[in-house]
Each structure stands twice: as C-alpha cells, then as structure tokens.
Amino acid sequence: MCRLLGYLGPAIQLDHLLYKPEHSLVVQSYQPKEMTSGVVNADGLGIGWYPTEGNADPFTYKSTVPIWNDTNLPELSRYIQSKCALGYVRSATAGQALDLSNCQPFRDNRLLFIHNGNIEKFRSTLYRPIRDRLSDAVYQSINGTTDSEHIFALIVNTLQALPDTTIAKALETTLMTLTELAKAHSVSFSGNVVISDGHHLIASRYAHGTSTPSLYWLRDDPMYPNAVIIASEPLFTGNWNSCPESSIFSVGENLEVYIHQLV
C-alpha cells in the first residue's frame, strides 16, 4: 500500500512536510507503521504543488527511485513553497510497471490526484468496464496502466459530464460506481484518495470487500497553524484524528472541515 500526504494552509517549504517531521513521508517509505500489504514503499515517488500566487496549473515532480535515494528532492523541497501540496510514495501492485507513467500524482488541468489502494485482479476484471464508461477524450488521456489512474479517469469523466457538480460529489459517484462493478465481478477494492484543485482538499477513506487503509487528519497544530494535513499515517505526535471508514473528507478554502458518511 502506498503512503499519501495532503496539505492546505499558509505557504510552507515542502521539506517541512517531506523530511522534517519525525515520521515524515520519507520515513514512511522505508518504515511504515500501518500498511496492510507490502513492507516498504520503494517503487517511486511523486510530489504535486500549486504556485503561491495566481491560478496557474500545478506542478509535479516524479521519480521511479525510492524517495530515500532521490538526490534532487531534498534540495528542491527546501526551495519550493506552496499553500497546497500532495505527496506520495509508491508500493507497486504486483505486475504493474515501474515507470513514470504510473507514478502519481495524476493531473488534469488544475486537479491533482493520489490514491492508496488497489482493485483486485484489475486487468482481468474492472479494466474494461471502467474504460467503457469514459468519454473518448478522457479515455485517450490515460497514459499508464494502473487502477489508480483509471479511478481518476472516472472522476474526471464525471466532472466533465456534469460541470456543476463538486469534486466531492464526483468522488462519491466514482466510489459507488466502483462498488457496483466490484460486486458484479466479485472482487474487492480499496479507495483512499486525496484530490485537490489548489483551494480545497477532498479525501476518501473507503473499501469494499477488504480492510480499509488508514487515513488521518489534523488541523491547527502548533507547528502548522491555520493548516490542515491529511496523511496515511501521522507525521508526528499530535492531535491527529482518524478519518471514519466509508467517508469523504472535505477541506474548504477557509479550512472548514466536512465529513460525509457514505451509505
């Protein structure tokens, strides 16, 4: 299982999220505490961030090396500041290629997406049914082979088909679609997701037919005032809250927090 991280708040150097906490994303890559499958997250990394000014599209930095072996990220993370950032270290599902096209975050215009989980027997079960539900434009936008990118494609497809819907609603619709497909094909899936448009953080803690991966959130910690952090595992000792299972967690521009329990 991969490890995820999302941040929304005042502009911060990325190394304060990736390296400095006692149980940082780097530490979680080689010494995770709550993974339900796998041992380490050594199959690549990805960081996405939004510029501190304006509404430009986000930037991403990806690599297929373990995050602890990346020689560029420590320097970049000391230089880059952002009010909204996502981080990810990968534990690849068996059989999935280790290349940049399969590294997250995935991006569509202003949207960034990261996923922790998997669809059981993806290539032989839900691969085709998911693709059959996509518009041609979204279908053609898929560059990799992971179940994660196909889940993102379903979300983007919903947002394009229903321009007035919210990211949270599109995520809920996608999770319900996946649940219906999983039931029809007698497979399980887990769908911990973090999505952002630079102004909001939307996350889910969800699974069908299998254990739900861990996900936590924290707001207004003394070391990170006026900010919300979402993470697969707590980054440091603090007042972390476990996201409820089968829920969607939304953080607004004013850092108001909403938790929507899924039926």
**CATH number for position 170:** 3.60.20.10
pTM of the predicted structure, to 2 decimals: 0.96
Neighbours of 129 (CB within 10 A): 16
Q: How much is the pLDDT for 40? A: 86
What are the residue ranges of helices labelled H in 59-166? 73-79, 127-132, 136-141, 147-161
> Of the residues 2, 84, 103, 243, which is catalytic?
2
Only one residue has tokens 């991006």, namely: 107
For this structure, is 2 an active site residue? yes
Tens of pLDDT, residues 140-158: 999 999 999 999 999 999 9
Q: How much is the pLDDT for 198? A: 97
> Across-strand partners of 251?
201, 257
What are the residue ranges of helices labelled H in 143-216? 147-161, 167-184
Domain count, the chain: 1
107 lies in which domain range?
A: 3-261
With cut-offs at 50, 70 and 90, classify the pLDDT of residue 120: very high
